[in-house]
């Protein structure tokens, strides 16, 4: 049985429909008009225990709304959600014991209190034993360096410290299912690296993870499966490796030549490759299908003819693939 | 102690500590409340002089004003904005992922914040006692029942405040609701003027509402304006309002939580 199952999950919202300016405001006061819009449109999602799933999509795609539906915060307009067999909206409190949630844009720390006090309050809420609490705090300290700011007031923390403290809050009760909604938003690269290492360890320990992020490095480093949502509908659902294998079919060699690159001549000489001008006049990019040619073959062909001053290899990143998925250029 | 009570106590203590973090807030509350009490005393002294007004002489009015000060400090000192803000800015999303009853958790926090007004109440009452030497309770039992009425103000104030905050789920604004609640409470409780000064029909209406229990009830009991049976009746009515509002709020929350819309992450 999957740990999480959503069927035909739909959420409609109602938004005031008013014209701009003072006139619009007055008109809306007298005659209220609303527009319905669908944030999540009939999503089917199954997550097995121990899976690490990236849930990605452009801004306004319905990612956070889905997380709120899956955690029981929002009531679905249509469809069902079951987390460990429970309806998370109806059995909210029972479900809360089994899940950990982090909203990158909303802290769960008590703003005017030291971090330690927030964690202790959560210990009481979840009924964590003294021994477990101590062991987990030690582990968080080891991996997230919590100790340095445990006595600090939450409102005095930097964003990176706040996020690490929030992560500890979300995991203090050792939840089976963890939802992380943009956990690395606004963080610098060193804090991101530390958080990703921590999340990898969490996944290796068997925790089920659903992660939403705009940072595709989070996704590649932490998750095995990716679900892409756009306009409330799932555009892709599958292993990240398959996504790359399926859609990343070309590689490229960037060449820096001694003189100006003659792209039309090169295209004529090597028609099996795609040639494009680089950023400088002396730069040229040759793209080839990785299934037809090995990199060694391409390099042998090209360097035999051109004697480049420098060269580098690249392949499209998952970011390119997802950008194309968002743009509707690729299909499931 | 049961798990739920441990959480309640932790939330009460945390809310209390949050308030204790801001010392200037106390001083302001004391200055404002104490100032209002002094103005009120001066005004009533001039109005009543050596006579009586609607059954109040200067002795009883001194006690009345002090009781009003205690009630106002407690009820207006609760952290209503903290709850309303969480609904309006979407932090309720975080609260709803915690394994606690939303209403009970907010009640514990609110009562913690009301408890933080105790130093202000104590300082104000000691100061007023030294300056105005008000009469004691009509009987020792009246004193005990007055204290009980003050104790019941905690759940009653929460019930009224929480219910008014729940309206935010529909209105998406809180300021107007707060103004309305405070105006109703100030008027119908007898904080502004004792209910005895109002026309009969307005007195009847005031006593039928829960607001009267914030000044009219404890002062009527303290000053012996009601007999023992009447005092017990008022305490029972105050308790009934607290219980009724608690369960009424539960029903409304069940509908309100379906209105939760947390946009933008």
Are residues A121 and B14, on separate chains, in Cβ contact within 8 Å?
yes
Which residue of A lies nearest to B90 if distances are taken between CA atoms? Answer: A106
List % helix, strand, coil for chain B (3-state, nearest 5).
Answer: 80, 0, 20
DSSP letter assigned to residue A328? T
Is pLDDT at A228 greater than 80 in this prediction?
Answer: yes
Q: Using an 8 Å CB-CB cutoff, list chain A residues near B99.
A: 93-94, 96-97, 125-126
Buried b (16+ CB within 10 A) or exposed e, B21-33: eeeeebeebbeeb
pLDDT, tens only, A17-39: 777 777 776 777 677 778 888 99
Which residue of A lies nearest to B265 if distances are taken between CA atoms? Answer: A64
Q: How far apart are the first and last CA of chain B?
A: 38
Predicted TM-score of the model (pTM): 0.83
pLDDT, tens only, B38-95: 999 999 999 998 999 999 999 999 999 999 999 999 998 888 888 999 888 888 999 9
Q: Using an 8 Å CB-CB cutoff, list chain A residues near B93.
A: 68, 73, 103, 106
pLDDT, tens only, A205-219: 999 999 998 888 888
Q: ipTM of the assembly?
A: 0.81
Residues 68-97 of B with CB under 8 A from A: 90-94, 96-97
Q: Which of A207-221, B27-41, B231-245 has the highest mean pLDDT?
A: B231-245
Tell me how far apart the alpha carbons of residues A268 and A270 are, in angstroms, rounded to a whole number: 6
Q: Which helix H or strand E contains B46, and what residues bound it?
A: helix B23-48
Tell me how far apart the alpha carbons of residues A211 and A196 are, in angstroms, rounded to a whole number: 11
Give the full edge-to-edge strand order of the sheet including A283-289.
A274-277, A283-289, A250-256, A310-314
Q: Which residues contact A300 (CB under 8 A, 6 or more apart)?
A: none
Tell me how far apart the alpha carbons of residues A267 and A285 are, in angstroms, rounded to a whole number: 11
Q: Which residues contact B155 (CB under 8 A, 6 or more apart)?
A: B107, B111, B242, B246
Shortest distance, CA B179 to any CA of chain A (angstroms) = 21
């Amino acid at each position: 049985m999957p740990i999480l199952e959503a069927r035909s999950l739909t959420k409609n919202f109602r938004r005031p429909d008013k014209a701009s300016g003072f006139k619009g405001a007055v008109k809306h006061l007298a005659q209220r008009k609303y527009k319905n819009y669908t944030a999540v449109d009939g999503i089917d999602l199954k997550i097995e225990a121990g899976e690490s799933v990236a849930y990605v999509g452009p801004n306004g795609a319905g990612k956070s709304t889905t997380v709120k539906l899956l955690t029981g915060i929002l009531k679905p307009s249509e469809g069902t959600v079951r987390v460990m067999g429970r309806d998370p909206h109806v059995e909210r409190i029972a479900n809360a014991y089994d899940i950990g949630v982090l909203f990158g844009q909303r802290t769960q720390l008590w703003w005017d209190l030291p971090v330690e006090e927030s964690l202790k309050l959560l210990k009481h809420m979840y009924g964590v034993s003294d021994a477990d609490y101590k062991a987990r705090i030690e582990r968080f300290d080891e991996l997230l360096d919590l100790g340095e700011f445990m006595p600090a007031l939450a409102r005095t923390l930097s964003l990176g410290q706040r996020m690490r403290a929030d992560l500890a809050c979300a995991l203090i009760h050792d939840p089976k299912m963890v939802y992380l909604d943009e956990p690395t938003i606004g963080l610098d690269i060193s804090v991101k690296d530390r958080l990703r290492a921590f999340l990898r360890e969490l996944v290796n320990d068997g925790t089920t993870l659903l992660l939403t992020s705009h940072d595709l490095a989070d996704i590649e480093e932490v998750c095995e499966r990716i679900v892409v949502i756009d306009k409330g509908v799932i555009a892709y659902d599958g292993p990240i490796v398959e996504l790359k294998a399926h859609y990343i079919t070309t590689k490229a060699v960037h060449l820096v030549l001694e003189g100006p690159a003659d792209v039309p001549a090169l295209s004529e000489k090597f028609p099996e490759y795609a040639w494009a001008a680089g950023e400088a006049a002396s730069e040229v990019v040759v793209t080839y299908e990785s299934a037809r040619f090995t990199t060694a073959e391409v390099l042998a062909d090209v360097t035999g003819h051109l004697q480049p001053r420098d060269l580098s290899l690249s392949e499209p990143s998952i970011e390119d693939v997802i950008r194309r998925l968002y743009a509707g250029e690729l299909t499931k | 102690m049961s798990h739920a009570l441990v959480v309640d106590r932790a939330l009460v203590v945390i809310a209390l500590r949050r308030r204790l973090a801001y010392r200037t807030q106390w001083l302001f509350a004391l200055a404002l409340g104490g100032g209002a009490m002094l103005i009120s005393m001066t005004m009533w002294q001039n109005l009543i002089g050596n006579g009586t007004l609607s059954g109040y002489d200067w002795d009883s009015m001194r006690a009345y004003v002090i009781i009003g000060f205690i009630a106002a400090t407690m009820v207006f000192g609760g952290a209503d904005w903290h709850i309303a803000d969480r609904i309006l800015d979407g932090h309720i999303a975080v609260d709803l992922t915690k394994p606690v009853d939303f209403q009970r958790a907010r009640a514990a926090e609110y009562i913690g914040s009301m408890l933080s007004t105790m130093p202000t109440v104590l300082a104000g009452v000691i100061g007023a006692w030294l300056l105005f030497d008000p009469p004691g309770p009509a009987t020792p039992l009246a004193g005990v029942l007055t204290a009980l009425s003050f104790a019941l103000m905690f759940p009653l104030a929460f019930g009224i405040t929480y219910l008014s905050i729940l309206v935010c789920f529909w209105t998406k604004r809180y300021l107007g609701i707060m103004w309305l609640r405070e105006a109703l409470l100030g008027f119908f409780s007898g904080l502004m003027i004792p209910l005895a000064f109002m026309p009969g029909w307005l007195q009847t209406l005031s006593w039928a509402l829960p607001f009267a229990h914030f000044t009219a009830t404890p002062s009527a009991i303290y000053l012996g304006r009601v007999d023992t049976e009447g005092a017990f009746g008022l305490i029972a009515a105050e308790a009934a309002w607290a219980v009724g509002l608690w369960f009424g709020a539960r029903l409304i929350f069940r509908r309100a939580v379906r209105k939760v819309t947390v946009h933008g992450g």
